[in-house]
Chain A
Amino acid sequence: MSSSDLALSVYGLSKAYTIAHNTVERHVTLAEAVLHRLRRPFHRADTETFWALKDVSFDIKKGEVVGIIGRNGAGKSTLLKTLSRITEPTAGEINLYGRVGSLLEVGTGFHPELTGRENILLNGAILGMTKAEVRKQFDAIVDFAGVEQFLDTPVKRYSSGMYVRLAFAVAAHLESEILIVDEVLAVGDAEFQKKCLGKMKEVATGGKTVLLVSHDQRSIADTCRKTLMLRSGRIEMIGTPAEVFKHYASVARPERRTGVTYGRNLGNDAEICDPVMGSATYFSDEPIQILFSVLKKKQQPRTLNAIAEIVNASGQIVTVVTSLQCSVIIENGLQRMRFIVRSPRLRSGRYSINLALEEPETLDRIDDALRFEILPPRDRAHGGFRLLHDGSIVHADADCEIAAA
C-alpha cells in the first residue's frame, strides 16, 4: 500500500466522557456551581471516566467502502462524530486526506416551514456545500428525490417518504472525497433504500471513500468490501463483511442470553433448557431436528408457545416454527420438545436458531441458542428446492412433538 492512497488514517483515537456520580456534583445551574466552588474550592467532583473510544487505529484507502458495525454503545457514533469534527477526541490523531461530508441523520437542519427548494439550498449549506455547488447539483438532487411537483411546497406538507428522499438526496450529492453515513439507510421504503445503496456504490466507484454504519448486515455485505467491528470502544476486528459478521454473531450479543445454559434461575414462569441440534449439519432436503426442554413452573391461563427462529448468516430470520402452529400444548413441569422442520428449503450456509417462550409476552428467549450448517446439495440435479432469500419469514412445514425426556 502506498501511503498516497490513504483517504484517512486514525492513530490511537480515544474519546472520554465524564460521568458524574453524585447529582449534586453536576452543576446544572450557575449558582450551584458558584456556591459549590465557594464551599469547597479545591474539591474535585466524584466522576467516572467513560471511554467511548479507546485507542482506535486504522487506515482507510481512497475509494474504499467500509462498513462499521458494533452493538449499541460500542462507539460507532462517537467514531463518526470525531471523524466529522462534531466532537473533539480526548487523545489520538486523525489525518484526513480529503474533504469530509457526513450524514449522521437524515434531514438535520430541514425546516418544516420552508419549501423544498429553500430546504435544498439550506441543507446543502449546512452539509458544507457552497451555494455554487448546490446550484450545480440542484437538478440532480430534485431528480433523485423525485419531488419536482412539490418544490415550492413547505416540507411540512410532504409525506414522510418524500421528506426522507429529499433529505438523503441532498446529502448523496455532497462533493466531498470522504462520505460518512450513519444508519440513515434504515429509513424510507425498500425501493428507496436500494436506490440509496446503489448511489453509495456509485459514489465509491467514482473514487470517493465511504464509511457506513448500519445494523442491516445485508446492506453492508452488498456495499462494503471491508468491515470494521467496534466493541466497547475498541476495534474488535477488521476484515471482509462475511468474516466480521461471523465473529459479530458469535460475540456481539451480551445484552441477551446466548448459548446453552443450565440451572438458571430467572424468576420467570417458564424457561428453556438444554437446547440441542439433532445434527450439526444437514443437507438441504433433510429434515432438521431441534431439541430442547421447557420448564413450566405454574399453570397459566393462556397457552404457552415455544418458538424456534432459523436465522441466516446475515441475521435475517428465514423460518419460524412454533408449538402452537403444530397444536402442541405445553403442560406444567419439565418437558422435552422436538421440532422437526421437514422441508427447510434452505440454501447451503450457516444458520443459527433463536429459541423463545411466549404467552404472548416473552417469558424466556435465547438468541443464538444453536447453530447448524446446511451443506451444498449432494448432486446438482437434486437441488430443485426453492431458495428463500428475499427476507420473508416462512412458517415451514414442520412438526412439533413432546419427546421422551
Chain B
Amino acid sequence: MLSRVAESLYWMSRYLERAEHTARVLGVQLTMMLEQDPASSDRRWQRVLGTLGHPGSDPEESDPFALAQKHALRQITGGIASARENARQVREQISSEMWEQLNRLFHEVRRMESAGLWKTQPLDFVAVIVESSHLVQGITDSTMNHGEGWQFIQVGRYIERAAAIARLLDVYFNEFPAGQPIDSGDHMEWIGLLRSCTAFEAYCKVYTADLRPERVAEFLLLNSEFPHSVRFAADHVQRSLECINEAAASRRSPRVAKIAGRLSAGLMFTPLDEVVAGLAEFFADIQVQCARIHAAIYEVYITYSIEAAIEA
C-alpha cells in the first residue's frame, strides 16, 4: 500500500474520532450545566478546555464558557472537514458507502453551522456528530476489506482515543485527587467524566452506581473489555500494528510493535495500587507513549528516509 494512502486513512480516522470525542465532552457539559451551580461554571469550562488540549486562556476571549464552545466547535467542524478531505484523497481506496456517509456528515455540519443550529440547539448538534461518527465506523467495518488500509484506520481511531482519555483523566484527577471521599457536589462531576467516555452504564454494570475515584480510574484505564478504556484502545493499536507489520514486506520491523506492545503491557501488568500511587505520572506516560507510537509509525511506514529504505 502506498505510504500516502496509509497516512490519509490514518488521519481520516483520527480526525473523526477527535470530532466525536469533542462533541461528546461538549454535550455532557452542556447537559450538566442545566442543573449545576452557576458559580462553578467557569471552573468547569476551564476544565473542558484542558481536556480538549487547549492552553486555557485566549487574549480575545476571557469567558471560559464562550472560549470552550468556540474551541470545541472548531475542533468538531475542523475535524470533520479534515476527515472528509483525507477520505477524498483516497476515495478509490475506501468503499463508496463510507465516502457517501462522511460526505453527508460534512455537508450536514456545514448546514447546521451556517444555520446557527449549534447555538440554538447544541445538544441536537452534538448528537448528530456522535451518531454519524458511529455510523461511519459501522459502515467502515462492514463494507471495507479488513486489510492493511482498514488496520491503519483502526490504529488512527484507537491511538486518538487512548490519548484523549488519558488527557481527560489527567485533568480530572488533578482537580479531584484520588483517595479522598467524593462529596455530594463532586458526585455529578464524576458521572460527567464517565459519560464523556460513554462509560457510565458500563461502569455501573461492573461496580454498581457506587462511584469511587480509584474505581473510575481502574475502569477507564485498565478494563480490557470496554471500548472506551485506554487498555482496550492500546490493545487494538497493538493488534493492528502487528497485522500491518505482517503485510509490510521489506519494511518489517519489530520497532513499532515493541513500542505499541510496551503501552499495552504496562496497562496489563502494572498493579492497581502502583497505578493509583502515581496517577499523574501514569497519565502523562500514556500520552508520551501514544506520541511515540505515532512517531514510530511515521518513521517506519510513511516518512522513512530513502537511504534507509534502499539499504533494506
- The answer to whether A and B come from one shared complex is no
Residues of A in contact with B (beta carbons under 8 Å apart): none
Residues of B in contact with A (beta carbons under 8 Å apart): none
